[in-house]
Amino acid sequence: LKLPPSFNVDRSAMHKSSAMVLLLAALAAAPLVNAAHLSQSSAANPIRKVVTMLQAMQTKVTEEGKKADELFEKYTCYCKSSGGNLAASIESAETKIAELSSSIESDSEKKAKLEGDLSSHQEDRDAANKAMAEATAVRETEKAAFDKALGESKTNLVAMRKAVEALEKGMAGNFLQSRAAGLVQRFVTSSRGLLETDRQAVLAFLSGQQASSYAPQSGEITGILKQMEDEMFADQKDMIATEDAAVKAYEGLIAAKKKEVAALSKSIEEKSMRVADLGVKLAEMKNDHEDTVEGHEDDKQFLADLKKNCASKSGVHEEEKKMRAQEIVALADTIKILNDDDALELFKKTLPSSSASFVQMQASTSALRAQAAAMLAQARAQLSPGQGRQRVDFISLALRGRKVGFEKIITLIDELVATLKKEQTDDDHKKEY
């Protein structure tokens, strides 16, 4: 809190002025109090009353100083504990930021590698699927060619067997007129492994040039045809074996590719999940990193402000202790003045004795009023417009009147002293913490 502009004055000077005002007000009140209570021999000494009041104020200022010291000690403890906690928090945040940065970098590299593996696995799986598709297409082509070749081979083999049977039975004429003879003729014509002489002999027989003179016992044509039959059977077996091997190779290839595709698909699924998990983890760590960095900056700023405020508060507290010490010194000086022998002599000279006559008392009333008015004027000069000058003016006005008794004037002076005391207390409460 800051004091209003009207309080921007030299506090040490103001406290010394307040002490002098209290002293002058006490001296002004003393003759009036004794004049009003002269008949009471047991009346209390007014100066002693003021001294007691000042001693109470001195005690209160001392207690307030102790309370202020206790509060400052607590505030200092708060500064130390809060500063330590903030320093620990800042250190922890710095460690966490470094760890998060390292983890983010490491996981980002892992994620990039996994994404590269995923791309490679997907390419390998596509290549495997393509290889299976191509192998299947080739297998289908080979299968169609095999089926066609096997069918022709079987047909030619059946025709060849019929030719051999017809020759062995002596039924060559009937055979030459059958469809099988035409098949045998086409086969012999296209056969590459047959000797040309044998080819011409068989073709001559099949064309009917030797049919009438053919002697089955010689067995020449029959032997050639049987040899061709055996060769055709062997070729057919080789063809089937080759087909079986091709089928087995195809099935092995397809099985291997399917296994490869399954493994790649499993790896792709697992790594896709790992990439997704790492993506979530990275997002969380980046958010945590951002929040930690922001909190770290806030803590650093708060710690800097705390150090500044604590240092400022220490200066304010020292200044207040200094001013409070000046207040106590001012009160002690005032009490010392009031307790001094010179003050006592002045008090005795100012007050009439108990044996004075009523006429003497009345004669001295005017002098007492003048003396009190002079002291009030001196007190007024020590006050600023906002420090009770109006009350002093009102008391002076009352002194100049004739209808106002000393009791009321004394009451006004007591109220002025109480007001000054209250303003002093209020002023203490308006100190900046």
What mean pLDDT comes out for the span 273-302? 92
Question: Residue 259's pLDDT band (boundaries 50, 70, 90)?
Answer: very high
Question: What is the reported pLDDT for 108?
Answer: 94
3-class SS shares of the chain: helix, strand, coil, % to 5: 85, 0, 15
What distance, in Å, lies between the first and last C-alpha atoms of the chain?
A: 7
Question: Given a cut of 50, is residue 216 above it in pLDDT?
Answer: no
8 Å CB contact between 323 and 11: yes
CA distance 377 to 392: 8
Higher pLDDT pick, 92 / 386 = 92
Residue with tokens 């892992």: 110
Q: Give the Cα separation of 167 and 170 in Å (integer).
A: 5
Predicted confidence at residue 114, as pLDDT, reads 93
The pLDDT value recorded for residue 15 is 45
Of the listed ranges 319-323, 377-381, 391-395, the least confidently predicted one is 391-395
Instruction: Please determine, for residue 287, whether its predicted confidence score (pLDDT) is greater than 80.
Output: yes
The two structure tokens encoding residue 88: 């620990």
Q: Choose the weakest-confidence range: 181-190, 229-238, 309-318.
A: 181-190
Mean pLDDT of 174-192: 69
Give the pLDDT score at 119.
94
What is the length of the chain? 433
Enter the tokens of residue 104: 């983010």
How much is the average pLDDT of 17-31?
A: 51
- Integer angstrom CA distances of residue 116 from 110, 121, 122: 10, 9, 10
Q: What is the per-residue pLDDT for 407?
A: 63
| pLDDT tens digits along 383-401 | 666 555 666 666 666 666 6
- Residue 159, token pair as written in the block: 């025709």
Asked if 53 contacts 422 with a C-beta cutoff of 8 angstroms, the reply is no
Residue 221, judged by CB atoms within 10 A of its CB (0-12, 13-18, 19+), counts as: buried
- 121 CB burial (10 A radius; 0-12, 13-18, 19+): buried
pLDDT of residue 311: 82
- Asked if residue 71 lies in contact with residue 314, where contact means CB atoms within 8 angstroms, the answer is no
Tell me the three state secondary structure of residue 387: coil
The pLDDT, as a whole number, for residue 162 is: 75
The residue that leads in pLDDT, 361 or 347, is: 347
DSSP 43: P
404, amino acid identity: V
The sign one gets for the Cα dihedral 199, 200, 206, 210 is: negative
**What token pair was written down for 414?**
């007591």
Residue 331 scores a pLDDT above 90:
no
Residue whose C-alpha is closest to residue 24's, from 407, 384, 416:
416
Place of tokens 């009346």: 43
Select the more confidently predicted residue: 358 or 29. 29
Share of the chain above pLDDT 90, in %: 26
Residue 269 confidence (pLDDT) above 90: yes
Q: Per-residue pLDDT tens for 125-180? A: 999 999 999 999 999 999 999 999 888 888 877 877 777 776 666 656 566 666 66
Please tell me the predicted confidence (pLDDT) of residue 117.
93
Phi/psi of residue 187, nearest 5 degrees: -70, -45
**Which residue stretches of 170-219 are H helix?**
172-176, 179-190, 196-207
pLDDT mean across residues, the chain:
75
Mean of the pLDDT values across residues 199-227?
63
Task: Measure the CA–CA gap between 311 and 317, rounded to whole angstroms.
Answer: 10
Higher pLDDT, 352 or 331: 331
Torsion of CA 365, 366, 367, 372, to 10 degrees: 90
- pLDDT: which is higher, 189 or 27: 189
Q: State mean pLDDT over 191-200.
A: 69
What's the pLDDT score for residue 285?
93
Structure tokens at 47: 């100066």
Cα distance between residue 165 and residue 185, in whole Å: 16
Cβ contact 323:43 at 8 Å: no
Spatial separation of the C-alpha atoms in residues 204 and 210, rounded to whole Å: 6
Question: What share of the chain in percent tops pLDDT 70?
Answer: 61
Over range 290-296, report the average pLDDT.
Answer: 92
Which one is predicted more confidently, 343 or 240?
A: 240
| Residue 227 pLDDT exceeds 80 | no
Helix (H, G, I), strand (E, B) or coil at 208: coil
- The per-residue pLDDT for 249 is 94
More confident residue, 28 or 252: 252
Residue 307's identity, in one-letter code, is K
Output 371 or 390, whichever has higher pLDDT: 371
pLDDT in tens, 118-127: 999 999 999 9
